[in-house]
Amino acid sequence: MSNYFRGKKPIGIFDSGIGGLTVLKEILNVMPWEDTVYLGDTARVPYGTKSVETVTRYSFENARFLLKFDIKLLVVACNTASAYCLRQLQQELPIPVIGVIEPGARKAVEVTKTKRIGVIGTEGTIRSNAYVDAIMRIYGNGKTMIAEHGDKHFDRYFEITSGDVVIFTKACPLFVPLSEEGWTNNDVARLTVEHYLKGLKSNRIDTLILGCTHYPLLKDVIQKVMGENVALIDSGRETAADAAKCLMDRGIIGISSSKQGSHRFFVTDSPDRFKQVGSKFMTANVDNVELINVEKAE
Where on the chain is the footprint of a second copy (CB under 8 A)? 42-45, 49-51, 54, 123, 153-154, 173-174, 176-178, 180-183, 186-188, 191-192, 195, 268-270, 273, 276, 295
Count the helix, strand and coil residues of the chain and give each as a percent rounded to the nearest 5.
Answer: 45, 20, 35
44 or 106, CB closer to a second copy? Answer: 44
Residue 246 annotated in active site: no
* Three-state SS at 163: coil
CB of 69 to a second copy, least distance (A): 23
User: Residue 256's Cα: distance from chain center in Å?
Assistant: 27
Backbone dihedral region for residue 33 (phi beyond 0: left; psi -120 to 50: alpha; all else: beta): alpha
188 or 297, CB closer to a second copy? Answer: 188
For 147, the enclosing helix (H) or strand (E) is strand 145-149
Task: From 276, 250, 217, 236, select the one nearest 28 (Cα to Cα).
Answer: 236
Evaluate whether 246 touches 98 at the Cβ level (below 8 Å).
yes
12 or 173, CB closer to a second copy? Answer: 173
Query: Residue 234 forms beta bridges with which residues?
Result: 210
Backbone dihedral region for residue 152 (phi beyond 0: left; psi -120 to 50: alpha; all else: beta): alpha
187 or 228, CB closer to a second copy? Answer: 187
Task: From 197, 147, 152, 189, select the one nearest 172 (Cα to Cα).
Answer: 197
68 or 195, CB closer to a second copy? Answer: 195
Evaluate whether 116 touches 164 at the Cβ level (below 8 Å).
no
CB of 190 to a second copy, least distance (A): 10
Q: Which alpha helices (H) appear in the chain, and where do they start and end?
A: 3-7, 21-30, 52-67, 79-92, 101-111, 123-128, 130-139, 175-181, 187-202, 219-226, 235-249, 271-282
85 or 108, CB closer to a second copy? Answer: 85
d(CA 45, CA 277): 14
CB of 196 to a second copy, least distance (A): 10
Task: From 26, 41, 33, select the one nearest 10 (Cα to Cα).
Answer: 33
CB of 173 to a second copy, least distance (A): 5
Of 85, 172, 212, 246, which residue is the catalytic one?
212
CB of 42 to a second copy, least distance (A): 8
Of 78, 85, 172, 246, which residue is the catalytic one?
78
Residue 212 annotated in active site: yes
CB of 286 to a second copy, least distance (A): 14
Active-site residue set: 78, 212
